[in-house]
Structure 1
Amino acid sequence: MPDAGTLAAFLGAGLVLNLTPGADVMFALACGARGGPRAGIAAAAGVAVGCLFHVLLTAAGLAAVLAATPAALDLVRYAGAAYLAWLALHAWRATPPETDEAGTESLLRAFGKGVVTNVLNPKVALFILAFLPQFADPDRGPVWAQLLVLGTLFALTGLLVTGTYGAAGGVLRSRLAARSRLLDRMSALVFAALAVRLVVA
Structure 2
Amino acid sequence: MDLSHVLSFLTVSILLTLAPGPDILFVIAQSMSNGRKAGIWTALGLASGVIVHTLAAALGITAVLYSSAFAFQLMKYAGAAYLLYLAYQAIREGNSPLAAAAVSKQSGFKLYRTGILMNVLNPKVSLFFLAFLPQFITPGTGDEPFQMMVLGIVFMLQAVALFSLVAVCAGLFGKKLLGKPRLGKYVNYGKALLYAAIGIRLVLSEK
TM-score, normalised by the number of residues in structure 2? 0.89
Aligned partners of 2:124, 2:145: CA distance in 1, in Å?
Answer: 20
Shift in Å at residue 77 of structure 1? Answer: 0.7
Q: How does 1:141-152 map to 2 (within 5 A)?
A: 141-152=142-153
Counterpart contact for 1:33–1:187, Cα < 8 Å: no
Q: Is 1:100 equivalent to 2:102 in the alignment?
A: yes
Change (3 A) 1:112 1:5: same
Instruction: Please say if 1:128 is aligned against 2:133.
Output: no
**Matching residue within 188, 194, 198 for 2:192:** 188
The structural deviation recorded for 1:138 is 3.0
CA distance in structure 2 between the partners assigned to 1:115 and 1:173 by the alignment: 23
- Kept after mapping to 2: 8 A contact 1:80/1:117: yes
1:171, 1:192 → 2: CA distance?
25
Q: CA deviation at 1:102?
A: 8.7
Structure 2 distance, partners of 1:106, 1:86, is 18
CA drift of 1:110 comes to 1.5
- Quote the offset at 1:182 in angstroms: 2.1
Give 3-state SS (helix, strand or coil) of 1:21's partner: coil
Contact 1:41 1:163 in 2 (8 A): yes
Structure 1 residues 99 and 53, CA, compared in 2 at 3 Å: closer, same or farther? farther
Q: CA-atom RMSD, angstroms?
A: 1.8
The residue type equivalent to 1:29 in the other structure is I
- If the length of structure 1 is used for normalisation, what is the TM-score? 0.92
CA distance in 1, matches of 2:14, 2:141: 24
How is 1:79-90 mapped onto 2 (pairs within 5 angstroms)? 79-90=78-89
Could you tell me which residue of structure 2 aligns to residue 110 of structure 1?
111
Gapped regions of structure 1 (runs ≥ 5): none
Structure 1 Cα separation of the partners of residues 172 and 164 of structure 2: 12
| Cα distance between partner residues in 1 of 2:171 and 2:197 | 20
How far 1:141 sits from its partner (Å)? 4.5
Amino acid at match of 2:68: T
Map of 2:65 onto structure 1: 66
Q: How big is the shift at 1:194?
A: 1.1
Q: Taking structure 1 as reference, are residues 99 and 131 closer, same or farther at Cα in structure 2, changes over 3 Å only?
A: farther
How big is the shift at 1:140? 4.1
The residue aligned with 2:34 is: 35
Aligned residues: 199
Distance 2:3 2:122 in 1: 31
Q: Identify which range, 112-121 or 154-163, moves more after superposition.
A: 154-163
Label 1:112 to 1:100 Cα distance change in 2 as closer, same or farther (>3 A): farther
